[in-house]
A and B are shown apart, each in its own frame.
Chain A
Amino acid sequence: MKLGLLILVFASGPLRAEEDGGDFQRYAAMFQQKCAKCHTVGLGDRVGPDLKGVSKRRERKWILDFIRKPGDFLDSDKTAMELLKKFNKVRMDELNLNEADAAGLLDYIDAASEGPVGPQDLELPEPDPYARLSMPDEHRGILIGFAATAAGLLALAAVLFQFGFVRIAAIAAILSLASGYWANGGRRDHRVFSRQQGYAPEQPLAFSHAKHAGTLQIACLYCHYAAERSDAAGVPPLKVCMNCHKDVKRPKEDPNGVGEREIKKIVDAWERRADPAEKGIQWVRVHDLPDYAFFSHRVHVGNNVKCQECHGPVQTMERMRQAAPLTMGWCVECHRRPPSEAPAHWKRAGATLDCAVCHR
C-alpha cells in the first residue's frame, strides 16, 4: 500500500553496476546523499516529485540547469513555480553541483527509471563491529579493584582512628572515598571506563530503527538531515515523521497493535502542536559526549564516513543503543589510520591529531 510506496530504491542492482562501471555506483551514492531525502525513482512522490522518467517529461537542459541552481527557477520559471506550489512550497536545497555531477546524476536517474523497482539491500557493515569493544571484562576488574581498595582503606582508617592516629586515619578515609568515587565511574565527564557503551534507555516512543532504516530502508539523512550541514545531526522535528505518518496510521503488519499505538503518539502530539502545554516527544539522549569534546557531523558525513561506522548497525536496532565506546582512544584510532588502512569510501584518511580539533 502506501507504505510500500515509501520504500526507497537507491540503485537498481549489481548487474547494472557492472554495466555502467564505477560512475553508476558513484552517482547512486550521490543520489542517496543528496536527492533521496526528498525524491524517489519510481516509488511515488515524497517531499518532492517522483523522478522516474523525468527526462522524458522535461527537456534535459532544463533539468540540468534546474538542479544546479534551483533558486533561480523557483521564483521565476513557470513550471518550477507550479511544482513548488504542488509540493507545499518546500524549496529545493541548493546542491552546489558542477555540470559533470549534474549530468551524471541525471544519467543515473534515467538508468534507474528503467530498472526494476523493489526493496534493495543496503551494503551494511558486519553486524555490530564494536561488539568486541563493549565493556571489556578487564575494565570491570579495575572497577572492582577500586571498590575493594575503598573498602580496605575504610577499614584501615577505622582501625587507625581507634589507635589514635587521627591524621593518618583521615588520609586513609579520604583515599577510601576517592576510590569509592572512581569505582562508581568518577565524575560524570570522566568516562574512563566507557560505561556509556551499550546504553539503550527506554524511549518515550518505541521507535524502531530496524523498521525504518532496516526494512523500509529510509536513508539516515532523510530524518537526520542536519548531519550533512551542521555539527549536530539533530533529532527530526515531528513534521518529518508526519510527512509519512499523515497517511500511515498503522503498520502493514502489527500483530499486537504496538505500531498503531506508537504512531498515534506522534499524530496526537502533532495535532496538539499549537497548544503550549504540548511538550512534544521527550527523547532520552543516547549519544552524549562530554561538554569539553566537540564533534562535527558535517565533517565526518562530508568525508563519506558511514553513519554505522560510529553508531553501529542502527538498521538492526529495535531500540537505539550506543554501540561504540565514544572515548578519545576510540576516536583517535580512526584519526590515526593511515590512508593505506582506511576504508576505500573515505575521501580522506589520516585526520589531524591536534587536540584543538575536538577540545576548545
Chain B
Amino acid sequence: MNSERDDIEAQDRRDLVRRGSFLKGMAASFAALSGGGCVFRPPEGKVVPLMEQPAGVFPGETLWYATTCGACTASCGALVKVRDGRPIKLEGNPEHPLSRGGLCARGQASVLDLYDSHRLRFPLLDGKEASWAALDAFVSERLNGVAVLSETIVSPTLRFAVERFLKKFPGSRLVEYDSLSASAILDAHARTHGVRTLPAYHLGKARVIVSFDADFLGSWISPVEFTKDWSPNRQPEREWDTMSWHAQFESRLSVTGANADLRVPLRPSEQYETLRQIGLAVASLVFWKGPKPPAGEPSSLNAAAVSDTAGQLARAAGRSLVLSGSPDAATQCLVNWINAMLGNYGETLVLDPAGLQKRGSETEFDRLLGDLEKGAVKGVVVLSGNPVYDHPKGAELAKFLDSAKLSLSLSGRPDETAVRCRAVAPDHHPLESWSDAEAVSGVLSLSQPAIAPLYSTRAAIESLSLWAGEPMSALDALRGRWKKSVLPGADFERRWHEALRKGVVLSDVKNPKNLRFDGRVLERLSPNPLRSAEGGFELSAYASPVLGDGRQANNPWLQETPDPISKTAWGNYASFSPEDAAKLGIVEGRVVRLSAGAASIELPAQIQKGHARGVVSAALGYGRTHAGPVAANFPVQKMLPVEREELSGADLFPLTAYSSVRVESTGRMSAPAKTQTYDEMSDPITGRRRPMVQETTLQDYFKDATSGRGKAMEVGPSLWPAHDYPGPKWAMAIDLNVCTGCSSCVVACGLENNVPVVGKAEVRKSRDMHWMRIDRYYNENGETAFQPMLCQHCDNAPCETVCPVLATLHSSEGMNMQVYNRCVGTRYCANNCPYKVRRFNWFDYAHEDLTQNLALNPDITVRTRGVMEKCSFCVQRVQSAKADARAENRAVTDGEVRPACAQSCPADAIVFGDLNDPKSAVAKKLGDPRSYAVLSELGVGPSVFYMTKVRNKKV
C-alpha cells in the first residue's frame, strides 16, 4: 500500500509541474487576447442544411429503428436511437420475444464500436491499402478448396449466401466455432438425443434451477433472455410460495452464483462426480430404471447439498432445470440424463425448436487444422470471429494463415486474425448493414442500417455473392430470402415493412421432432482426463459479463466498467481463494505467473471470497495485441497528466487448452484499479452490521413482511420546511432481489449522459466518473448482495445546503439538480453527500477522438474541468416525455419516463415514476412492506428506495 501512496504522491508532484507550465501558457494567451483589440466575438458558427430532407426526418428530432444487436450471437432485439442521421444509443426492443426490452452492457456499448477510429477503413492486400477491384481479382482466382471459418452464423441469409458460395467452389466447406464454446452441450445431445443441437432454454418455467459453472445471468449463451426469464420468479409473495429456488455449484464467484440461494464452491474436476451423485439421488427419487453412469474422480463434495439439491429437483420434476457450462461432453451427458429423468425436456428446455446461438464444433476445428497440415485445404476464409486470438489453438491456425494460398479475413477491424491474413475484405459494423438473425428457431429478427457505412467497407453477404459470381446487394439478398422462406404468400411488401417496424417475426416451426433421451450412452461415459501441469491449480477461464470474449476490447466504456464481482476495471487478474492465497503467500496485486505447456501469462492476483480452493480463475478477453489503443491501455486522453501504463491484462485463451496450470509468484506488484475498496456489510471496526443492504430469508418474510429491516434510528424534527410538489414527484424503486449486478445500467447511464472515461490510473485514485455504480457487499455468511447506488435526490439534500454558489438546487418535481455552468468546483457537496455519488471532473476529459464524439448525446452538456456532476434522474427524458404529452394534450402516463438505467435493466429491477400519482408502479412499490431507504436515519428524505433482499433458503 505504501508504494502505491508514494506513486500517487509522485504523480501529484508531476501534475503540479505541469500545472505550472499550464499557467505560463495561459498568461501568454491572455496577453495575446488583450492585445487583440476589443472587438472579440465568438467564432462564427455555420449552419449547413441538407439538400433534401428525407421524408419523416426532422432536424433535431429523435428517431427509433428496430434492429438486432450485433455484439454477440445471442442476437437480442434492439432499438437504435438516431439523431440527425447518427445512431447514438442502443436500447432493448420490448417487442422481441427473447430479450423483451433488456440489453446487456456489451450490447449497449456496441454503438461506440461503430465510431471506433481504429476500424479498417479500406480493404487490405498483403497489409497494404488496396482497391476493392484489386482485392476481388486477388481473391477470386484462389477460392477453390477453401474452408470458410466463422463463428456461429446466426443470420439465415448469410448462411444461405455461404452455402451458395460453397456450392460454387467444390471441395470447400464451412467450419463454425465459438469463442465461448458450447460445443460440449451440442456433442452431448448428439450422443443422448441423436441430434447435435443446442436446446432452447425456458428458465421462466423452471421453479428450481441448478447450475454448474453456467453463468447464465452473466455471460452464458443468452444472458439477457435468461435474466428476463429468471427475474419474475424471484419476486416473493406473502400469500404463497412463488419464489424459485436456484443453486449454483461453481469454481469461482460468478454473477449467477452471487444471486443463487444455495452456492457451493466446486472445482471443475469435481463437477462430473457431483452431477453423478445428484443424478443417482434423483434416480432413486423418480424410480429411474435405465442405465447408470460410471463413477468419476472422487470429490470433496458436500453430501447434504447433494441430497438437498436432488430433493428440490425431484419435487419440481418437469419444472426444474439443470445447466452446466462444462467443456466436457461426458459431464454434459449427465446433465441431459438428469433433465431427462425429471421430464424437463419439452418443458424447461426444448430441442426442437432449438437454440441456434451456438453451433460451433471443436472436432470440426481440429479437423480443419489437420487438413491444413496435410494440405487438403488450400486456404481459409475467416468470415467472422477472431480465431487467432479467441481460440485456444489460434497460434496453430495463424501458422497456416501465413503460408496458405489464400488467407482472407472479412473482419472489420485489423484484429489478430486479420493481420495474419494476406487479404482483408472488411465487413460493415452491424449498425451499418442489412442482415437478419435467428437465435432460436422460429424467432427471426431483422437488422437494418442506422447510418451509411462510415468507411469503405462491404457487407459479407455482398462479398460472398460477388465472389460466387452472383453479385447482389445485401438488401436484395435479405428480401429475396425473406420473401421465399419467412414471409411467403401475398402482400409481401406490407408484411416486410411491418417486420421492419417491429424488428422481429415469429414463424412456426413445422413438425417439431419429438426427440427421446437414449440412456445407453451413460454406461460408456468417461469424463475427459485432465491435461494438467504439475504444481497444479485447476484453471477456470471465464467470460466476464462486461468484456465477454474480448471482441469489444477497444471499447473504453467496457474497459472502465468494473467487473461486477471484483469491482476491478481495466484489465484481468487471477483470482484465488483466501486459503490458497495464504498458502502461496501472495497478497492482492502480487503478479503471478500461470503456465501450462508452452503457454505462460502473468497476472496480478486477486483474493476472492467464495472461490473454490485449488482453482485459479481469470477472465478471457483481455491482453489483446491488435484491438487498438484502448485495449492496450494507452492513456485515454493525451492531455491528461497520466502516466502511460503497461498493458495489464493477459490473454487466457492459449491456456484454456489445459485444464490445470502451474502458479508461481513473481516479485512484482500491480495494483488493481478498483472502484470499490470496502467489501463487508459489517463495520470492520465495531463488527456491527451496516444496514445499507437489508436482507431476510423467505421463511422470515412469510412470518413478517418487514423482517430483515434494520431498526431505523429516530429521526428528529426537520429544520427545513417541507417541500411542496404541485406536479409530479419523481422517485425510483430498486428491487435488490432481482438486481443481478450485471452492470448494464452502468453502461447505459454513461452513454446516455456523456459520462467521461478516465482511464486506469485515475480509477485507481477513485476518480471514476460513473453516475451509477453497483456496490457489492458480502454478509457474515459470505453471501453476496448487489446494490445500485446513484444520486438519491434527497428532499433535504445535504449537498444543496453547502453549495456556496447555488449550483445544486431542488427542483419543483423533487429532483436534485446540478447546474454545471454555475459550479465553481468547491467540492463541498461531494464531501457532504452521505451516499458518495457525486463525481468531480478533475480534468477536461477532452474528447480528442472526433469519430468517437459522434456517439455523444446532444441533449446533454459535455462537462468541463472543475465542475461537479451526478445522476440527474435522466431529466432530459422527463423533459421530452412532458413535451410529447403536452403536444398530444394529455398527461404523462406512468411508465412513460424511463431513465436509461431502468430501460436497460434485463431484470426489471428499477422502477421510476411519479410518487404523487397513487396508482403509479413506483408508489405501489413504496407501499410494499419490503421498501426501505438507505441511511434513512439521517433524515435527508431520499427519493430512491430499495426493496429488501429475500433469500430463498430451503434448509
Q: A residues touching B (Cβ–Cβ < 8 Å)?
A: 90-91, 96, 143, 147, 150, 173-174, 177-178, 180-181, 183-185, 188-189, 195-196, 199, 201, 225-226, 229-232, 234-240, 269-270, 273, 278-285, 288, 290-294, 296, 298-299, 302-303, 352-357, 359-360
* B827-877 CB contacts (< 8 Å) to partner A: 859-862, 872, 875-876
When the two chains form their complex, are residues A237 and B53 in contact, meaning their CB atoms are under 8 A apart?
yes
Task: Please tell me if the beta carbons of A284 and B44 are within 8 angstroms of each other in the complex.
Answer: yes
A239 to B50 CA separation, bound complex (whole angstroms):
8
Are the CB atoms of A284 and B45 closer together than 8 Å? Answer: yes
In the complex, what distance in Å separates the CA atom of A354 from the CA atom of B876? 13
B30 contacts the other chain (CB 8 A): yes
Contacts of A270 in B (CB 8 A): 51
Q: Which of B36, B48, B821, B860 contacts A282 (CB under 8 A)?
A: B48
| Interface of B (DSSP majority class) | loop
B685 at the interface (CB under 8 A from A): no
| Residues of B contacting A357 in the complex (Cβ-Cβ under 8 angstroms) | 879
Q: Which of A147, A232, A273, A285 contacts B38 (CB 8 A)?
A: A147
Beyond the given pairs A177-B34, A226-B58, A294-B859, 19 more chain A to chain B contacts, judged by CB atoms under 8 angstroms and listed by A's residue number, are A143-B38, A183-B34, A225-B58, A230-B61, A235-B47, A237-B53, A278-B51, A280-B50, A281-B48, A282-B48, A288-B42, A288-B45, A296-B883, A298-B887, A299-B886, A353-B812, A354-B813, A359-B820, A360-B879
CA distance A85 to B862 in the complex (A): 46
Residue in B41, B48, B883 whose CB lies within 8 Å of A195: B41
Query: With an 8 A cutoff between CB atoms, is B599 at the interface?
Result: no
**Hey, which chain B residues are within 8 Å of A281, CB to CB?**
48-49
With a cutoff of 8 Å between Cβ atoms, the chain A residues found around residue B876 in the complex are 294, 360
B60 CB within 8 Å of chain A: yes
Bound Cα distance A185, B44 (Å): 15
Give the residues in chain B near A199, CB-CB below 8 Å: 41
* CB of A220, distance to nearest CB on chain B (Å): 15
B27 at the interface (CB under 8 A from A): yes
Within 8 A of A (CB), among B29-63: 30-31, 33-34, 36, 38, 40-53, 55, 58-61
Whether A360 contacts B49 by the Cβ 8 Å rule is no
Contact A226 B42 (CB under 8 A): no
Is B815 in the interface zone, CB < 8 Å from A?
yes
A283 B49 Cβ-Cβ under 8 A = yes
Contacting residues, chain A, for B875 (C-beta < 8 A): 356, 360
Closest-CB distance, A31 to chain B (whole angstroms): 18
Interface string of B240-269 (1 = CB under 8 A from A): 000000000000000000000000000000
CB distance from B897 to the nearest CB of A (A): 13
Of chain B, the residue at the smallest CB distance from A272 is B51
Which of A91, A234, A299 is most buried by chain B, counting CB atoms within 10 A of its CB? A234
Q: Is there contact, CB below 8 Å, between A285 and B51? A: no
- A229-B61, A302-B886, A355-B809 known; A280-B40 Cβ under 8 A: no
Question: Which residue of A is nearest B882, CB measured?
Answer: A299
Q: Give the one of A234, A279, A290, A355 with max B CB within 10 A.
A: A355
How close is A209's CB to chain B, nearest CB, in angstroms?
A: 15
Given contacts A229-B61, A356-B817, A359-B819, contact A234 B49 (CB under 8 A): yes
Docked pose: A199 CA to B886 CA in angstroms: 33
Q: Of B42, B49, B815, B879, which is within 8 A of A237 by CB?
A: B49
A-B contact pairs, 16 of them (CB 8 A): A143-B38, A181-B33, A184-B40, A226-B59, A231-B60, A234-B49, A234-B60, A235-B47, A237-B52, A282-B46, A283-B46, A283-B47, A283-B49, A292-B820, A294-B876, A357-B879
Q: Chain B 871-911, CB within 8 Å of chain A: the 1/0 string?
A: 01001100100010011100000000000000000000000
Minimum-distance CB pairs A-B, first 7: A232-B60, A180-B34, A285-B45, A234-B59, A230-B61, A230-B60, A177-B30
Residues on B with C-beta less than 8 A from A292 are 820-821, 861
List the interface of chain B (C-beta within 8 A of A): 27, 30-31, 33-34, 36, 38, 40-53, 55, 58-61, 809, 811-813, 815, 817, 819-821, 859-862, 872, 875-876, 879, 883, 886-888
Pair A238/B44 contact, Cβ less than 8 Å:
no
CB of A360 within 8 A of CB of B811, answer no
A322 vs B337: C-alpha distance in the bound complex, in angstroms?
78
Find the A residue at minimum CB distance from B873: A356
- The complex places the Cα of A280 from the Cα of B52 at a distance, in Å, of 11
**Which of the residues A150, A273, A285, A299 comes within 8 Å of B47, measured between beta carbons?**
A285
- B44 engages A201 (CB within 8 Å): yes
Let me know if B887 and A302 touch, CB within 8 A.
Answer: yes
- Docked complex Cα distance between A136 and B809 (Å): 31
B58 near A230: Cβ-Cβ < 8 Å: yes
**Which B residues are CB-close (under 8 A) to A177?**
27, 30-31, 34
Partner of B52, one of A183, A225, A273, A278: A273
Question: Shortest distance in angstroms between A158's beta carbon and chain B's nearest beta carbon?
Answer: 14
A3 to B36, CA, bound (A): 48
Could you say which residues of chain A place their CB within 8 Å of the CB of B36? 184
- Point out the residues of chain B lying under 8 angstroms from A283, CB to CB: 46-49
Distance, CA A143 to CA B40, complexed state (A) = 12
On whether the beta carbons of A188 and B42 are closer than 8 Å, the reply is yes
Q: Which residues of B contact A238 (CB under 8 A)?
A: 49-52
Determine the chain A residues whose CB is within 8 A of the CB of B53 once the complex forms.
237, 239-240
Contact of B888 (CB < 8 Å), options: A96, A196, A226, A355 = A96
The answer to whether B819 and A355 touch across the interface, beta carbons within 8 angstroms, is: yes
State A72–B888 Cα separation when bound (angstroms).
20
| CB <8 Å contact, A150 and B887 | no
Q: Give the docked Cα–Cα distance between A55 and B858 (Å).
A: 45
Question: Looking at the complex, which one of A234, A285, A294 makes contact with B46 (CB distance below 8 Å)?
Answer: A285
Checking A90, A226, A284, A352 against B812 with a beta-carbon cut-off of 8 angstroms, the contacting residue is: A352
Please measure, in the bound complex, the distance between the C-alpha atom of A232 and the C-alpha atom of B50, giving whole angstroms: 14
Contacts of A195 in B (CB 8 A): 41
A29 to chain B, nearest CB (A): 16
Q: Which of A91, A229, A290 contacts B821 (CB 8 A)?
A: A290
A354 touches B817 (CB 8 A): yes
Q: How far is the CA of A91 from the CA of B56 in the complex (A)?
A: 9
- Expressed in whole angstroms, the minimum distance between the Cβ of B292 and any Cβ of chain A is 65
Q: A230-B59, A231-B60, A354-B813 are in contact. Are A183 and B38 (CB under 8 A)?
A: yes
CB-CB under 8 A from A299, the residues of chain B are 883, 886
Which A residue's beta carbon lies closest to that of B61? A230
Taken together as a complex, chains A and B put the C-alpha atoms of A359 and B821 apart, in Å, by 8
Question: Is A356 a contact of B872 with CB atoms below 8 Å?
Answer: yes
Q: In the complex, are the beta carbons of A280 and B811 less than 8 A apart?
A: no
Q: How far is the CB of B159 from chain A (nearest CB, A)?
A: 34
Write the nearest CB–CB distance from A115 to chain B, whole angstroms: 30
**B34 near A291: Cβ-Cβ < 8 Å:** no
Take A230-B60, A232-B60, A356-B872 as given contacts and tell me if A188 and B43 are in contact as well, using a CB distance cutoff of 8 Å.
yes
- C-alpha spacing A357/B876, complex, angstroms: 8
Complex CA gap A230/B828 in Å reads 38
Cβ–Cβ < 8 Å partners of A293 in chain B: 821
Query: Which A residues touch B819, using CB under 8 A?
Result: 355-356, 359
Known contacts being A96-B888, A188-B42, A201-B44, is A360 close to B813, with CB within 8 Å?
no
Report the nearest B residue to A178, measured CB to CB.
B30
The docked-state distance in angstroms from the alpha carbon of A359 to that of B863 is 11
Do residues A280 and B33 form an inter-chain contact, with CB atoms below 8 A? no
Residues of B within 8 A of A302 (CB): 883, 886-887
Rounded to whole Å, the gap between the CB of B736 and the closest CB of chain A is: 28
Q: Which residue of chain B is the closest to A280 with respect to CB atoms?
A: B48
| CB nearest neighbor in A for B39 | A184
Q: How far is the CA of A180 from the CA of B32 in the complex (A)?
A: 10
Alpha-carbon separation in the docked complex, A237 to B85 (Å): 15
- Given known A-B contacts A352-B812, A360-B872, A196 and B52 have beta carbons under 8 A apart: no
Known: A181-B33, A296-B883. A235 touches B42 (CB 8 A): no
With contacts A230-B61, A360-B876 taken as known, whether A279 is within 8 angstroms of B38 at the C-beta atoms is: no
Residues of chain B within 8 A (CB-CB) of A234 are: 49, 58-60
Q: Is the CB of B811 within 8 A of A354?
A: yes
Chain A positions within 8 Å of B861 at CB level: 291-292, 359-360
User: What CA separation (Å) do A352 and B812 show in the bound complex?
Assistant: 8
Q: For B52, list chain A residues within 8 Å (CB).
A: 237-239, 273
